[in-house]
């Protein structure tokens, strides 16, 4: 129950141990372990490296089967591999589990120096902190400049932060279904999800034991989130008001299924930490505002959105596209925000075009 912990099968993960790390909002981690996966071969000059940034409940397992250490298959099948948009015969692809996560990188469920879980003691982290950890990973791998940084949703935040904070290290940027700062709607939705987790009696202030996590609260949070990931049109077309033989609405059964799946592979403390990082996201903070920050980007860029996305509506991508003076690539999909994961052909085509340039 919950995320990956020390002693579980490693699967395809690789690990990098980093020294003490001080998050920008205070506190200290005496060390950070980063879990990551790679595909392809790094060129001698390191010039063929591509960084893929996962979303909130994703991890380093972009592609690959289920198996020991990997309870779910890759979350972006069809994008990475020989002959695919991120052709591993050409590109060296890297994806790391994010700081604060629960799939091998240090987070609230990791063991602190005193032998107990970090729990409520885990410091607040920002998107900028997460990227600084990825910078250390790139340095360790001998990658001075990414040929491309690719990210959707929460991953898009880190991709954009890379391009703004370290423009000389990003050759091209694929920014998908995300925004340059958190909106009130996103913050409201995510703080409601956090409230559901904290309302679970097993939350225990964030210091719950590994064998008794607040799965009910996490399940409610996932149900709320999943409604924002899909479009009303798709849900109505799939389920309508249909009632199953067990007396449950079909759409409720669908949400229950996703809640149970997430609770089996994700840590509630990480969910709170990562949604807090998303809530604090503003690429313009300390840089003179969003437009001033985006003026720092030198990477060739594709900005793309999903026309039915109600969590990250296209207006958010349009702001970034306008600031970077590139057209917004709008993908038509009934799947809402999840279209960035589902519409592999359209997404892959845009990515391949960017890399071909």
Spell out the domains of the chain, with CATH numbers in brackets: 14-183+280-356 (3.40.50.1820), 186-278 (1.10.1740.110)
| Residues carrying an active site annotation | 153, 309, 337
Q: pLDDT, tens digit, for every residue of 55-90?
A: 999 999 999 999 999 999 999 999 999 999 999 999
Tell me phi and psi for residue 47, to 5 degrees: -85, 0
291 contact partners, CB below 8 Å, separation of at least 6: 284, 323
Q: Which residue has the tokens 């700062």?
A: 181
Q: Which helix (H) or strand (E) holds 324?
A: helix 314-324
The mean pLDDT value for 115-121 works out to 97
Specify the pTM: 0.97
Q: pLDDT (tens digit, 9 = 90+) per residue, 15-37?
A: 999 999 999 999 999 999 999 99
Q: What are phi and psi of 204, to 5 degrees?
A: 55, 40
């Amino acid at each position: 129950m919950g995320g990956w912990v020390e002693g579980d099968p490693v699967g395809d993960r690789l690990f990098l141990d980093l020294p003490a790390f001080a998050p920008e909002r205070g506190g200290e981690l005496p060390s950070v372990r980063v879990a990551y996966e790679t595909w392809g071969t790094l060129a001698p000059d390191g010039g063929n490296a591509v960084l893929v940034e996962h979303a909130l409940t994703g991890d380093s397992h972009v592609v690959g089967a289920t198996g020991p250490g990997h309870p779910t298959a890759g979350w972006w099948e069809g994008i990475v591999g020989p002959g695919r948009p991120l052709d591993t015969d050409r590109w060296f692809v890297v994806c790391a589990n994010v700081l604060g996560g629960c799939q091998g990188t240090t987070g609230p469920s990791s063991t602190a120096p005193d032998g107990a879980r970090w729990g409520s003691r885990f410091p607040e982290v920002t998107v900028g902190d997460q990227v600084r950890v990825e910078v250390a990973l790139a340095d360790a791998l001998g990658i001075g400049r990414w040929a491309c940084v690719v990210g959707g949703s929460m991953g898009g935040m880190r991709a954009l932060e890379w391009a703004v904070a370290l423009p000389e290290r990003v050759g091209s940027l694929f920014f998908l279904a995300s925004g340059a700062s958190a909106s009130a709607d996103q913050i409201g939705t995510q703080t409601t999800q956090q409230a559901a987790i904290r309302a679970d009696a097993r939350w225990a202030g964030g210091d719950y034991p590994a064998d008794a996590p607040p799965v009910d609260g996490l399940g409610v949070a996932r149900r709320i989130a999943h409604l924002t990931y899909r479009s009303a049109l798709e849900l109505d077309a799939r389920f309508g008001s249909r009632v199953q033989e067990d007396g449950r609405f079909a759409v409720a059964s669908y949400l229950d299924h996703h809640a149970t799946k997430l609770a089996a592979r994700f840590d509630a403390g990480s969910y709170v930490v990562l949604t807090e990082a998303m809530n604090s996201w503003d690429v313009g903070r300390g840089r003179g505002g969003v437009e001033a920050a985006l003026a720092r980007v030198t990477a060739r860029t594709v900005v793309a959105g999903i026309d039915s996305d109600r969590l990250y509506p296209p207006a958010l991508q349009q702001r970034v596209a306008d600031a970077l003076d590139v057209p917004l690539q709008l993908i038509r999909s009934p799947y809402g925000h999840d279209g960035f994961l589902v519409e592999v052909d359209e997404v892959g085509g845009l990515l391949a075009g960017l890399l071909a340039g």
